[in-house]
Amino acid sequence: MEKFVWEMVVKFRNCRTQKLRSVAEYIISKKISANNLTFLSLICGILAAYFFLLNWWLLALFSLLHLLFDSLDGVIARLTTETAYGRYFDLAADSLPVILILIKIGWYFKEIFSYLAAGLFTLSLLFFFLSKLNSVFIPLRTSALLTALISTLPFLDAPSLPIITVAYLAGGVCSLYALARQLQLAASKK
């Protein structure tokens, strides 16, 4: 499963690099670094999580800005110099909105399993960091943002709890799978 996920990530990464190269080169010429854009991505991701269940339009705006800045920071890093710090910072900036959205689901809907999914995802991320990014990790950022957007569309009378429930349960299962694979890989190294 992880091979399929990372193959898709690499395909999208290569497509973004090709499509956004000229924009990234312009940003580089203005002396804006990849880490500057990662910081903007982080702020927009936090704001997207904040506006989830409060204001769909602002959720959509900050989700799109988060994804745009995240796309550009990766392209800029590949065109200049990628750093270990930048890779960790980028992954943290991508993952924090997921954790915040899962916690907000648990708080708003009184769904304890959403907290469990947030905990599993956080543990999976922590162990991935501890492995120096050489283990299994399943990114959930895009699926979390899409779920947040779809489940709270303006024409719905109320947030769609079935969509939200399926999404956080799937996220929890993916995180549990990643944790099991991380444990398996760590045990095989000993």
The pLDDT value given to residue 129: 96
CATH architecture of 2-189: Up-down Bundle (1.20)
CA distances from 12 to 9, 20, 159, 173, 175 (A): 5, 12, 30, 23, 21
pLDDT tens profile 8-29? 878 888 888 889 999 999 999 9
1 has a pLDDT exceeding 70: no
Average pLDDT rounded to a whole number, residues 133-161: 92
32 has a pLDDT exceeding 80: yes
156 has a pLDDT exceeding 80: yes
120 has a pLDDT exceeding 70: yes
What is the number of other CB atoms lying within 10 angstroms of the CB of residue 69?
A: 21
